[in-house]
């Protein structure tokens, strides 16, 4: 007896057997049971999620000999013939192979005739977006005024390519990708029915690799059963899929957090032994960084999974701006991997770029070979210490005395003092060396008053997302270290009466832009072009020259 692949053997025969897609099934069931039937249905979504399966069950529901209902009997001649693919009044068409207008006209010539066996003549057109424009025109007239005995069931993975005239004549249902948890539960049920022993991790890997497709998950399950000789283990499924070692990727993130370049390269060498897909590896790096960022910026978020504790430790150890930078480099770096001759070297280069460009990273003092990646300079450096690499090296060469430290703090205080002895908040923010989320929070604040070591700030609407306990603590610590005194911040979310640094910068940019636009309008060369050739000046493309005032 021939073997039937799992994707065909376990194809649903009833709506109740389908997993997911409740939003689609509910509408169809109510329409069938309430006898409110439309003449054309369009099912959209990615491959393998049940578009044609829904259409075939709907065809059975329309033609079951027991009557139109959401629960066809599955036993009458119409139901069994539809399941077997031989029902004469269910005309299935693959539009990808019949794109010509003559094919469509030939198909529609018989629409006017009554069904031979069933209650309705059902046209199931798969990948309908592949039809030519002339074919759509031929189909449009029938869709607009179909005979009462005809139903059209259209399926496509690319609804954007369908003419709006066709879309407007169909009831459209968008089928969604299934979540990995739903696929794991489905695969677990099938393994129990088939008597296949398995480890939970093996099914999780298959579900993730399927990308939300039920059909792909069953095809991969078939492959894994053959690979494991009837038994599914986590290690063997990982080998079959070429899945990345998640532990190794997590160790790479930890090495990035430590600034340890030597360890990074050693981890990549170990990863290379399994001949990985480096584009997928970089995407996995980005995925883990995203989880770290959520832990850092969303208060009360609970990370779950076996690596949750290590991710929480990374969230506490890594600066917020570093995580955001690393994520951006990882996402952009995936494009480079396709252009690189040696993917491993391109992957390593992206990791080294993260170390090289992170905020506070120091360039090597000389060209001496190999050295550990430079540790970060303390975030709470004084304004004097950040006035250039030469001043920084001189400061390192001369031991700081108590008198020198006092002088540095006094210089910082004088640099941030402004009118009538009051603190100029914008100057303080600029001089304090703030970065990342702390800088964003400070830029959207205005100073209300100071009561000793307590600073009262007003926050505008643009900084609400940054006003978290962690970011406030970072800002508070940086200001305290910069001023050399205790600082306690109290932030009020009422609208500031005075201008915040962010609004000041926006106003300055707007003034620069208006000045640049006025200069272009007054330019004699521009006027000559307008008078001679009727040229038009697009002011929205004008940008001021020189560095923008965004520090």
- 49 within domain boundaries: yes
- Co-location of 158 and 278 in the same domain: no
Helix residue ranges per DSSP H, 259-307: 261-272, 278-297
Q: What is the pLDDT of residue 362?
A: 56
> SS3 for 4?
coil
Q: What is the dihedral of CA 517, 519, 521, 525, to 10 degrees?
A: -130
Name residues of the chain where pLDDT drops below 50: 366-419, 421-422, 548-551
Residue count of the chain = 551
Last residue of a domain, one of 357, 381, 412: 357
- 418 within domain boundaries: no
> SS3 for 361?
coil
- Co-location of 167 and 276 in the same domain: no
Q: What is the pLDDT of residue 372?
A: 41
For the chain, the domain total comes to 5
pLDDT tens across 322-333, in order? Answer: 999 999 999 999
- Co-location of 24 and 134 in the same domain: yes
- Co-location of 236 and 251 in the same domain: no
What ranges make up the beta strands (E) of 316-453? 445-451
Quote the CA–CA distance of 14 and 12 in Å, as a whole number. 6
Cα–Cα distances (Å) from 138 to 97, 256, 301, in that order, read 17, 60, 55
Q: What is the pLDDT of residue 243?
A: 67
24: DSSP letter: H
CATH number at residue 489: 3.30.300.150
- Please, are residues 93 and 55 in contact by the beta-carbon 8 Å criterion? no
- 194 within domain boundaries: yes
Chain mean position to CA 112: 48
Q: What is the pLDDT of residue 410?
A: 44
- 380 within domain boundaries: no
pLDDT tens across 284-307, in order? Answer: 899 999 999 999 998 878 777 677
- Co-location of 339 and 434 in the same domain: no
- Co-location of 333 and 189 in the same domain: no
Quote the CA–CA distance of 158 and 195 in Å, as a whole number. 38
Which residue, among 420, 465, 422, 408, has the nearest Cα to 441 in the 3D structure? 465
CATH number at residue 195: 1.10.8.60
- Please, are residues 160 and 166 in contact by the beta-carbon 8 Å criterion? no
- 365 within domain boundaries: no
- Co-location of 131 and 250 in the same domain: no
Structure pTM?
Answer: 0.57
Sign of the torsion formed by the C-alpha atoms of 255, 259, 264 and 266: negative
Which residue, among 443, 449, 445, 441, has the nearest Cα to 423 in the 3D structure? 449
Quote the CA–CA distance of 504 and 329 in Å, as a whole number. 30
CATH number at residue 151: 3.40.50.300
Last residue of a domain, one of 152, 174, 196: 174
- Co-location of 12 and 99 in the same domain: yes
- 314 within domain boundaries: yes
**Phi, psi (degrees; rounded to nearest 5) at 368:** -70, 140
Q: Which residue range(s) make up the domain with 90?
A: 6-174
- Please, are residues 151 and 122 in contact by the beta-carbon 8 Å criterion? yes
Q: What is the pLDDT of residue 462?
A: 78
Quote the CA–CA distance of 306 and 289 in Å, as a whole number. 16
Last residue of a domain, one of 191, 226, 241: 241
Q: What is the dihedral of CA 290, 295, 300, 305, to 10 degrees?
A: 80
Q: What is the pLDDT of residue 402?
A: 43
- 388 within domain boundaries: no
- 400 within domain boundaries: no
Q: What is the pLDDT of residue 1?
A: 54
- Co-location of 12 and 97 in the same domain: yes
Tokens 């393998």 label which residue? 48
Tokens of 285: 């790096």
- Please, are residues 426 and 501 in contact by the beta-carbon 8 Å criterion? yes
- Please, are residues 136 and 167 in contact by the beta-carbon 8 Å criterion? no
- Co-location of 141 and 37 in the same domain: yes
- Co-location of 235 and 252 in the same domain: no
- Co-location of 487 and 448 in the same domain: yes
């Amino acid at each position: 007896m021939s073997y039937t692949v799992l994707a065909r053997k376990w194809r649903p025969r009833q709506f109740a057997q389908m997993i997911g897609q409740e939003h689609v099934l509910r509408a169809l069931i109510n329409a069938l049971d309430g006898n409110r039937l439309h003449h054309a249905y369009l099912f959209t979504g990615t491959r393998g999620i049940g578009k044609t399966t829904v259409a075939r069950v709907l065809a059975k529901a329309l033609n079951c000999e027991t009557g139109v209902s959401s629960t066809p009997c599955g036993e009458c001649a119409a139901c069994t013939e539809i399941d077997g693919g031989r029902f004469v009044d269910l005309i299935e068409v693959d539009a990808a192979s019949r794109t010509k207008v003559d094919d469509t006209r030939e198909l529609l010539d018989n629409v006017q005739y009554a069904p031979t066996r069933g209650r309705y003549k059902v046209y199931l057109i798969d990948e309908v977006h592949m039809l030519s424009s002339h074919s759509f025109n031929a189909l449009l007239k029938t869709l607009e005024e179909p005979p009462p005995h005809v139903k059209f069931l259209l399926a496509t993975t690319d609804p954007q390519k369908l003419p709006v005239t066709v879309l407007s004549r169909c009831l459209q249902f968008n089928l969604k990708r299934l979540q990995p948890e739903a696929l794991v539960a489905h695969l677990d049920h099938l393994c129990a029915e088939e008597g296949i022993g398995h480890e939970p991790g093996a099914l999780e890997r298959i579900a993730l690799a399927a990308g939300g497709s039920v059909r792909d998950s069953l095809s991969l399950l078939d492959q894994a059963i053959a690979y494991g000789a009837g038994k599914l283990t986590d290690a063997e499924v990982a080998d079959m899929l070429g899945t990345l070692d998640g532990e190794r990727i997590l160790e790479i993130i930890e090495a990035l957090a430590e600034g340890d370049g030597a360890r990074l390269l050693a981890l990549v060498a170990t990863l290379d032994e399994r001949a990985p897909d480096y584009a997928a590896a970089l995407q996995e790096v980005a995925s883990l960084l995203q989880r770290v960022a959520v832990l850092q910026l969303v208060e009360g978020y609970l990370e779950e999974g076996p690596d949750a504790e290590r991710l929480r430790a990374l969230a506490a150890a890594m600066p917020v701006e570093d995580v955001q930078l690393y994520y951006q480099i990882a996402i952009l770096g995936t494009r480079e991997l396709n252009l690189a001759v040696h993917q491993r070297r391109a992957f390593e280069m992206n990791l080294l770029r993260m170390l090289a460009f992170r905020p506070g990273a120091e360039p090597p003092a000389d060209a001496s070979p190999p050295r550990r990646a430079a540790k970060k300079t303390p975030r709470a450096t004084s304004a004097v210490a950040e006035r250039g690499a030469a001043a920084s090296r001189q400061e390192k060469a001369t031991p700081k005395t108590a008198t020198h430290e006092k002088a540095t703090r006094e210089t910082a205080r004088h640099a941030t003092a402004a009118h009538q002895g009051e603190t100029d908040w914008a100057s303080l923010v600029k001089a304090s060396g703030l970065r990342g989320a702390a800088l964003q929070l400070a830029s959207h604040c205005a100073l209300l008053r100071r009561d000793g070591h307590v600073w009262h700030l007003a926050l505008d609407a643009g900084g609400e997302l940054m006003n978290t306990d962690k970011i406030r603590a970072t800002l508070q610590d940086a200001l305290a270290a910069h001023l050399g005194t205790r600082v306690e911040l109290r932030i009020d979310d009422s609208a500031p009466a005075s201008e915040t640094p962010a609004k000041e910068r926006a106003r300055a940019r707007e003034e620069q832009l208006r000045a640049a636009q006025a200069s272009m309008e007054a330019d004699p060369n521009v006027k000559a072009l307008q008078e001679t050739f009727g040229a038009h000046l697009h002011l929205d493309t004008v940008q001021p020259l020189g560095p923008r005032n965004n520090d």
